[in-house]
Structure 1
Amino acid sequence: MHTENSRERERERAMADALVGAEVRSIFIYPIKSCRGISVSQAPITLTGFRWDRQWLIVNGKGRAYTQRVEPKLALVRVELPMEAFSEDWEPTKSSCLVIRAPGMDELKVPLRRPGDISCGVSVWEWSGSAFDEGEEASKWFSNYLGKPSQLVRFNEATENRAVDPNYACGYKVTFSDGYPFMLLSQSSLDALNKLLKEPIPINRFRPNILVGGCEPFSEDLWKEIKINKFTFQGVKLCSRCKVPTINQETAIAGSEPTKTLMTFRSDKVLRPTRKHQGKVYFGQNLVCKDSFTGGKGKMIKVGDPVRVVEMVPSCDDAPA
């Protein structure tokens, strides 16, 4: 009983610490899966995550997704959206474009108004369905850049439904994200990792949507429910990391770090000693937003918004992963 009371007091202290001064430091949108992200000061929230996040996907000749895991050159593809695209209720005009650039390539402009052509047999991880085909010019551009048949497609939310794993969050959906609508990481966690690395790495290695400041390192592991401004988010799964964080986003060259160092203190063996070990490393927390998005205005998150912890789990061993 004494031990249980001590753990409860520790958890209450951790929650109190997490309540003080935490705020949104940065917001990142990744319009094309596995290409570079955009740092924005605000972003509209939708059922599938931030608006414009992972709306587009590059696929091979068989419709299968390309990612940095197999095509690290995608790290060098820069994308740009109109500034007003992140304003509330903004809708594209005929001239609105997604602008795409890469080394050695001419600029590509993709109209934001949805195309009429449909491409069937598009697949990413476990999901397959149809998507909008962004046309021959985009196909040639990515085929030339990657040196193999490629196509740019856009998720068709009107006809397709890609569900989040119901074992972790039932009733939620995504577009072309790996698995969850939002991924959150704290600046203090990155700082703690960088103290252990010979060469510090930037946040873009981990591709979060929300970067939080003003909390203890790795405190986000334990966040079961938080409020960002007035919106309620649920932490549904510790984020297990793949090869992508080892890819330098400025050169597209992969190395051994930070995974080598993360394995020493962020592996499932270390963080989840009573669970089955699969050689995974964790860094960040996957989230869903519990609020309804039917009608109404003000569905925005902004840099500087306060982050308040509502509920925590006692340890990583108790967190879904």
Structure 2
Amino acid sequence: MEKASSIISSIFGSTPSEAEAKITSIFVYPIKSCRGISVPQASITSTGFRWDRHWVVVNSKGRAYTQRVEPKLALVEVELPKEAFNEGWEPTQGSYLVLRAPGMNLLKVQLSKNCEPIDGITVWEWSGSALDEGAEASEWFSKYLGKPSRLVRFNTASETRAVDPNFARGYKTMFSDEYPFLLISQGSLNALNERLAEPLPINRFRPNILVDGCGPFSEDLWTVLKINNLTFNGVKLCARCKVPTINQENGIASTEPTETLMKIRSDKVLRPTRNQRGKVYFGQNLVCKESLSTSGKGKVIKVGDPVYVLKKVSSSADAPA
């Protein structure tokens, strides 16, 4: 059972007078597992932030590459036009996705071109068609990774990818691992770094939203948030995979932070009375209520926006995971 964070938050869904945190960074990852872009604002779409995980690199069988098996993807720098993050912006003939990587020439992918759909694209449990970005992009990634590869775009005209209905029924995403948004607090990162011999930057954890002003791991408890009049639901603690162990500057993996997280953030520690699955948790997965509606403007959040918590659970053990 969820418990209201305060009486005021349970009456008519009203917003508390004091914010619990504020947004300090927003990140969008246009190509799954490649570098993210720090932006001052981002628009909310039906699948998450606009441009987030819009593309994925796949192998010769159409299966998605991630940093788990291709850590070199961490070194691929991604650039979109700055105006691409303005509400309502549409690409022109001169708008490009620009890619850079060590030892590679610049690659420019036109945003407004028509692409041919190809079938048999697979990302985890999902399979469907995607839009092939063509021979030049294929050759670029094939050379960089040393194996046949293609860059494909999510086919919004024909495909949908549903979020796990056990946690967020009716929501969808593109090529994200599971959920449209991931939120982490600076307090959580600071608390982890205090236990590490070498502090880690936030890019190890690839959040969409970084907030500050709250205590460590406060975000575990948040189940209903208000940001710029948009309602976000915290639907599941984020179980971490191998990716946070990969240095995003050189693509080399180590044992941290997983070793330390197992001591302080495992299901055994946080959820001792629940089934143990050997998971470690860091961050909170979110969905946005307004993403269910295709109408209306103003679905934008910005760096500096206050975060109001309307509902929370009493402990991490009570949070869905």
User: Same fold, TM exceeding 0.5?
Assistant: yes
Confirm or deny: 8 A CA contact 2:185 2:211 kept in the other structure: yes
Deviations 1:195-237 (A, max 9, x none): 1100000000000000011111100000011011210000000
Would the alpha carbon gap of residues 275 and 170 (structure 1) be closer, same or farther in structure 2, given more than 3 Å must change?
same
Q: Distance in 2 between matches of 1:19 and 1:215?
A: 12
For 2:284, the equivalent position in structure 1 comes to 285
Q: Distance in 2 between matches of 1:37 and 1:225?
A: 26
Would the alpha carbon gap of residues 18 and 155 (structure 1) be closer, same or farther in structure 2, given more than 3 Å must change?
farther
Q: Say yes or no: does 1:194 pair with 2:199.
A: no
Would the alpha carbon gap of residues 159 and 114 (structure 1) be closer, same or farther in structure 2, given more than 3 Å must change?
farther
Q: Which amino acid aligns with 2:83?
A: E
Q: Distance in 2 between matches of 1:191 and 1:18?
A: 27
Q: Say yes or no: does 1:118 pair with 2:117.
A: yes
User: Cα distance, 1:114 vs. partner?
Assistant: 4.5
Structure number with greater CO (CA < 8 Å, separation at least 6) is 2
For 1:66, the equivalent position in structure 2 comes to 65
Question: 3-state SS of the aligned residue for 1:168?
Answer: helix
User: Cα distance, 1:157 vs. partner?
Assistant: 1.0
Confirm or deny: 8 A CA contact 1:19 1:309 kept in the other structure: no
Q: Which amino acid aligns with 2:283?
A: G
Q: Distance in 2 between matches of 1:17 and 1:191?
A: 26
For 2:258, the equivalent position in structure 1 comes to 259
User: Cα distance, 1:18 vs. partner?
Assistant: 11
User: Cα distance, 1:314 vs. partner?
Assistant: 1.2
Q: Distance in 1 between matches of 2:170 and 2:125?
A: 17
Q: Distance in 2 between matches of 1:274 and 1:29?
A: 36
Question: 3-state SS of the aligned residue for 1:189?
Answer: helix
Structure 1 unpaired stretches of 5+: 1-7
For 2:103, the equivalent position in structure 1 comes to 104
Deviations 1:227-250 (A, max 9, x none): 112100000000000000000000
Q: Distance in 2 between matches of 1:215 and 1:222?
A: 12
Q: Distance in 2 between matches of 1:18 and 1:221?
A: 21
Q: Which amino acid aligns with 1:299?
A: K
Q: Which amino acid aligns with 1:237?
A: K
For 2:225, the equivalent position in structure 1 comes to 226
Q: Which amino acid aligns with 1:149?
A: P
The sequence identity of aligned pairs, in percent, is 69
User: Cα distance, 1:115 vs. partner?
Assistant: 2.6
Q: Which amino acid aligns with 1:316?
A: S
For 1:76, the equivalent position in structure 2 comes to 75
Deviations 1:10-68 (A, max 9, x none): x659x999944511110000000000000000011111000000000000000000000
Q: Distance in 2 between matches of 1:226 and 1:145?
A: 41
Q: Distance in 1 between matches of 2:126 and 2:33?
A: 17
For 2:27, the equivalent position in structure 1 comes to 28
Q: Which amino acid aligns with 1:193?
A: L
Confirm or deny: 8 A CA contact 2:18 2:308 kept in the other structure: yes
Q: Distance in 2 between matches of 1:142 and 1:212?
A: 34
User: Cα distance, 1:296 vs. partner?
Assistant: 2.0
Confirm or deny: 8 A CA contact 2:41 2:302 kept in the other structure: yes
For 1:305, the equivalent position in structure 2 comes to 305
Deviations 1:115-150 (A, max 9, x none): 331111000000000000000000000000000000
Structural mapping, 1:133-148, within 5 Å: 133-148=132-147
User: Cα distance, 1:290 vs. partner?
Assistant: 0.7
Post-superposition, which runs of at least 4 consecutive aligned residues in structure 1 deviate over 6 A?
15-18
For 1:129, the equivalent position in structure 2 comes to 128
Aligned residues: 312
Structure 2 unpaired stretches of 5+: 10-14
Confirm or deny: 8 A CA contact 1:226 1:310 kept in the other structure: yes
Structural mapping, 1:133-282, within 5 Å: 133-282=132-281
Question: 3-state SS of the aligned residue for 2:165?
Answer: coil
Q: Which amino acid aligns with 1:44?
A: S
Would the alpha carbon gap of residues 65 and 56 (structure 1) be closer, same or farther in structure 2, given more than 3 Å must change?
same
Confirm or deny: 8 A CA contact 1:18 1:219 kept in the other structure: no
